[in-house]
Structure 1
Amino acid sequence: MATARPRLAQLSSLCLSSSRPAPANISARLLSTTPPLTARVVPRIVSKKETLKPKGGSSNPQKNKKKGEETKKKKKKARTTYIQYDQRDADQFSLCDAMRYIRAFEVGQKPTSVKYEMHVKFKSLKNGPVIRNRLRLPHPVKTDVRICVICPPDSKYAKDALSAGATLVGEGDIFEAVKDGRIDFDRCICQTDSLDKMNKAGLGRFLGPKGLMPSTKLGTVVKDPAAMLKDLIGGAEYRERLGVVRMAVGQLGFTPEEMQRNIKAFIDAVKKDMANLSDKINKELAEVVLSSTNAPGFPLNGEFISPDSAITSRDLSTS
């Protein structure tokens, strides 16, 4: 009994302590018997299109297949050749008729200031080799070409170059003038003994962008510059660009006979360049057009004068 009384006293003290008010620092939420509020879930509104069409695309595989075929058809393959037009229905002119119409467009112009220009169009691949060469016409078109010859100034090559018609001859003076921006020449050739000095001078960044830098690949580094000057004076370069070769073939004052000889020499040179290409390269002449500085182009039919022409070659001669 003695041991039971202290235990009863402890139990009574515990009961009294539980009836006391809760401390103020205990949250009312912990004492509340109601369950906590939870977030309300709102259902997502699904559109009509989403209910009909799944997320991955159309539910019809046949329709997807047709769309893929249509997109493949729409994609055009890149052309490997240049666009060609049928010349059978186009107007073509004889040489005398074309010169007559061109002179009508050039009324009032000086005979030496206007140039006849020939355009030769090819049937060729876009990524194929191009034609490039130099030609001296029977009747030179431009005779006032300024030519620079890089060679030892006191050598025999310098004297021969000056007598052959060179405008500038030397080494150091030419190097300094080019670096200062004074490029007073239209062509530049180099003698083989001066090639190392020219390369050390660093003229490539000045003459290269203008297409004047001499190089062995272009044939402008030679042993005897005087021999090459004979071809350069009165000669001209031509190069194929976008399937067309262009070259000045005469002045406005040239006679039809002079034009005929120049055009024949140019066409023969182009055909020779085509023959030198590989047998695997198919390059054909498609069209030959004659134009001038201010006149449009007139396709030529290969005739010198048409049978029903009202003019003669004498009417177009200025001599």
Structure 2
Amino acid sequence: MAKKIAKRVTKSREGIDPNKHYDLGEAIKLLKERATAKFDETIEVAMNLGVDPRHADQMVRGVVNLPNGTGRNVRVAVFARDAKAEEAKAAGADIVGAEDLVEIVQKGEINFDRCIATPDMMPLVGRLGKVLGPRGMMPNPKVGTVTADVAAAVKASKGGAVEFRVEKAGIVHAGVGKASFDVKALEENVKAFADAVVKAKPSGAKGNYVKRVALSSTMGPGLKLDPATLSA
């Protein structure tokens, strides 16, 4: 099995120049040609930023609605009561609850990808910080996951909303579609994501903000991108 994987990796890298900065469209075509796994590979973008997230004024965080969706079936959990709970269910939320949902999460049963809460539920949801925080799932008003309009938030999450947050090394990354998407759809998604990250530039960022950008597929090689081709 190891030999098969090594052979596939070697083949996927054929014709790739590790030192070249590719045009976005060219990079996508190369990745699509090499996405030969038995599943629909995810196309991922990684942006190395000139920030130090240890400083509060250099934190980069936000959410972007990808114009062509992510290609993923996103499971959404909503903390809400009464009428708001019904609104969430009607909008397509996979799990809806209050104290009962808190108990489920505290047991480590996290069968969802994104978490939304109404403002009145936050004192309750706050107890889950140690569980949801490390997974990047803690509801936050800055990215629209603490809101009274739970229906819109659920639909956005299901429709292609991607939350991003810079990591310790100054890198922001996200899945921006599937290898089965056509080139134009992936280009639009990558540009939308990059544009959102640029707009989220913090006040404390100095000098060159976007240092490096790379595009890859789940099982494929990583390609350096020319940042100039990312402009929306």
What TM-score bracket applies, with the shorter chain setting the length? 0.7 to 0.9
CA distance in 2, matches of 1:126, 1:191: 28
The match for 1:258 is 185
Is 1:288 matched with 2:213? yes
Indicate conservation of the 8 Å contact 1:148/1:189, yes or no.
Answer: yes
The match for 1:267 is 194
Indicate conservation of the 8 Å contact 2:41/2:179, yes or no.
Answer: yes
Structure 1 residue 237: Cα displacement: 1.4
The match for 1:73 is none
Q: 2:161 aligns with which of 235, 259, 266?
A: 235
Structure 1 unaligned regions, length at least 5: 1-88, 305-319
Indicate conservation of the 8 Å contact 1:147/1:187, yes or no.
Answer: yes
Superimposed CA distance per residue, residues 5-64 of structure 1 (whole angstroms, 9 cap, x where no aligned partner): xxxxxxxxxxxxxxxxxxxxxxxxxxxxxxxxxxxxxxxxxxxxxxxxxxxxxxxxxxxx
Relative contact order (alpha carbons < 8 A, sep ≥ 6): 1 or 2 greater?
Answer: 2
Residues 165-180 of structure 1: pairs in structure 2 closer than 5 A: 165-180=92-107
* CA separation of 1:266 and 1:209: change in aligned 2, threshold 3 A: closer
The match for 2:77 is 148
Superimposed CA distance per residue, residues 99-139 of structure 1 (whole angstroms, 9 cap, x where no aligned partner): 333234322433xx311111222344575513111111001
Superimposed CA distance per residue, residues 201-248 of structure 1 (whole angstroms, 9 cap, x where no aligned partner): x43343333333335566532222112222222211122221222111
Larger Rg: 1
Q: Which AA in structure 2 matches 1:225? A: V
* Identity in percent: 33
Residues 1-319 of structure 1: pairs in structure 2 closer than 5 A: 90-110=19-39, 113-124=40-51, 128=55, 129-152=58-81, 155-199=82-126, 202-216=127-141, 219-233=144-158, 234-241=160-167, 242-274=169-201, 277-278=202-203, 281-301=206-226, 302=228
Q: Which AA in structure 1 matches 2:184? A: E
Structure 1 residue 194: Cα displacement: 2.8
Indicate conservation of the 8 Å contact 1:124/1:282, yes or no.
Answer: no
CA distance in 2, matches of 1:99, 1:217: 31
Indicate conservation of the 8 Å contact 1:124/1:283, yes or no.
Answer: no
Superimposed CA distance per residue, residues 82-109 of structure 1 (whole angstroms, 9 cap, x where no aligned partner): xxxxxxx941222343233323432243
Q: Which AA in structure 2 matches 1:158? A: A
Structure 1 residue 161: Cα displacement: 0.7
CA distance in 1, matches of 2:118, 2:184: 38
TM-score (norm 1): 0.58
CA distance in 2, matches of 1:122, 1:207: 25
What count of residue pairs does the alignment treat as equivalent? 208
Structure 2 unaligned regions, length at least 5: 1-17
CA distance in 2, matches of 1:268, 1:134: 11
